[in-house]
Amino acid sequence: MTANPIDWNEMLLALRRHGIGLTEVSVKLRIPKTTIYAWSRGTEPRHQDGETFIAYWMVETGGARENLPRLCHIPDCVSRLTLTRSNIVEISNRLILQNH
């Protein structure tokens, strides 16, 4: 089973919560600000740029690679669950945990 795609926008938001904006990311990574902005809007970075950004994110946030924020496609996340009242709480908690 392959992991869900990386949520590049959430990575940028995490950096923002650490006081690091797009301009600083752009300068540190030597990647145009417009390119980084495009990542926040859903564009997938080139492999090397993505790896560089992941390394930078890990250093600045203290996050581990295995804890990178991932996109969750709702049908994929709930495909094995029956939607009952108790499952809805479980699904909500899983989605919250995935995004932190």
The number of distinct structural domains making up the chain is: 2
Angstrom distance (rounded) from CA 47 to CA 24 = 21
Q: What percent of the chain has pLDDT over 90?
A: 64
**Is the same domain home to 15 and 32?**
yes
**Is the same domain home to 60 and 77?**
no
- Give residue 22's domain range: 1-67
**Is the same domain home to 78 and 63?**
no
Angstrom distance (rounded) from CA 13 to CA 22 = 10
**Is the same domain home to 24 and 63?**
yes
Angstrom distance (rounded) from CA 19 to CA 77 = 31
pLDDT at position 88 is 73
Residue 4 in this model has a pLDDT that exceeds 60: yes
What are the pLDDT digits (tens) for 18-40?
Answer: 999 999 999 999 999 999 999 99
| DSSP per-residue codes, 21-61 | -HHHHHHHHT--HHHHHHHHTTPPPPHHHHHHHHHHHHHHH
Residue 68 in this model has a pLDDT that exceeds 80: yes
pLDDT at position 87 is 66
**Is the same domain home to 8 and 39?**
yes
**Average pLDDT in the 68-77 region?**
74
**Is the same domain home to 53 and 37?**
yes
pLDDT at position 64 is 95
CA nearest neighbour of 61 among 97, 12, 96, 7: 12
Question: Are residues 98 and 69 in contact, defined by beta-carbon separation less than 8 angstroms?
Answer: yes
pLDDT at position 97 is 74
pLDDT at position 1 is 54
